[in-house]
Structures are given as C-alpha cells and as structure tokens.
Structure 1
C-alpha cells in the first residue's frame, strides 16, 4: 500500500531543495566570473546535491524503519557537508537550499509518526 502524498511531503521538499542546490552549483561551476568556475569545490557541491536528490527519492520508497533511519542519518550528514562546502565557496544560495532540505528532512521525520498514530487508533 502506497503512502499518501502528505506523508511524503518532507521528502518532496528535500528533493526540490537538492535539485535547486544542484542547479545553483552547476551555474556556479560553468558560468565565468562566479569565483568558483571550474573548481573542485564546486564540483563536490554538484555531486553532493545530486546524491542528496537520489537519497530523497530513496527516502520516498523505503518501507522499513531501519532503512529509513539509516537513510535519514546519511542525508543529515550530506546536508551538513554540502552546507559547509557552500559556505567555503561563498555560494550562499546553495546554503539556503540545504537549510530548506533540512526543514524537509525534519518534516519527513515527524509526518510518518503522525500518520501511523492516526491509522492505528
């Protein structure tokens, strides 16, 4: 049985934030005069945002509690690391996207518990 869209809203916010960070990082990497054009740091931000987007998609699909907790822990580390890279690169908008991703992760952690309580009472 598939979960309703409202229980996936946190993962959707995380996915959108990751894709926004990816777009900003790609812009910074390829556009001349951004200060990080062609740098390894911008490339790391691109890869990290892509991996976060993939993990957000996986988060929507996992069924077991253990896999969900492990994935959430990895996503949290990814968000923190990408935020740190963004601050070192002075790419503030990537940092904003990672904060929005953190909000999505928090929503995802709260929503399933609320959904489970409503269906079992």
Structure 2
C-alpha cells in the first residue's frame, strides 16, 4: 500500500503544480497591468501548462514502462521550458509552480512502485 501512495504522491504533486501554473498563466494573460496581459508569451505558457496537465493525466494510469519514460522526458522538457518562460515573463509564481512540478516528477521517478511496475509487451 505504501508504494502505491508514494507513486500517487508524485503524480498528485505534479498535477497540482500544473493546474496552479495554468491558473497563474490565465491570470497573467487576462488581467490588465500584469505586464504580459494579451501577449503571445503568456498564451504559449497557457498552452504548455494545458499540455502538462494532459500529459500528467495520461501518465497516471499508464503501466507501460517505455511509455512512462517517454512521458516523463516530455514532462521534464515542458517543466523546464515553462519555468524558463515564467522567468522571462517575470511571473515568479509560475516558475515556483514549475519547480514544485519538478519535485513531483522526481518523487514519481524515485518511488519504488514506479520502478517495479512490470512492462507490458
């Protein structure tokens, strides 16, 4: 049971961080005087956080080891890219949310349940 909980903890942290990033980017895009409202960069961050949410939801029930590795790599790239975009847009909370998402990804990768899941051919 504890292996399942630790597996879920990483996925939940990643999902919450992705949803928080989506909320922050929507706020920055639609609220006047944020400095980035209506900008193409803020719109790109909205799309990348939506992609993060979708990839996290797809990865949660996935039992194929190679699929999980591929999704983890894509999620890592999206987290780093979105965090860097948050720095460029001066949206510090967005960058903080992506760092929390990275912690969730690391928790998922380090969990015993994730490493002992049998691969389906």
Per the alignment, residue 98 of structure 1 pairs with: 98
Q: What is the TM-score normalised by the length of structure 1?
A: 0.89
Per the alignment, residue 16 of structure 2 pairs with: 16
Q: Structure 1 residues 13, 95: closer, same or farther in 2, change over 3 A?
A: same
For this pair of structures, how many residues does the alignment match?
Answer: 115
1:4: Cα distance to partner?
3.1
Per the alignment, residue 88 of structure 1 pairs with: 88
Name structure 1 gaps, 5 residues minimum.
none
Per the alignment, residue 52 of structure 1 pairs with: 52
- Following superposition, which runs of at least 4 residues in structure 1 exceed 4 angstroms of deviation? none
- Alpha-carbon separation, structure 2, partners of 1:6 and 1:88: 33
Bigger share in helix: 1
Alpha-carbon RMSD across the aligned residues, in angstroms, is 1.8
Name structure 2 gaps, 5 residues minimum.
none
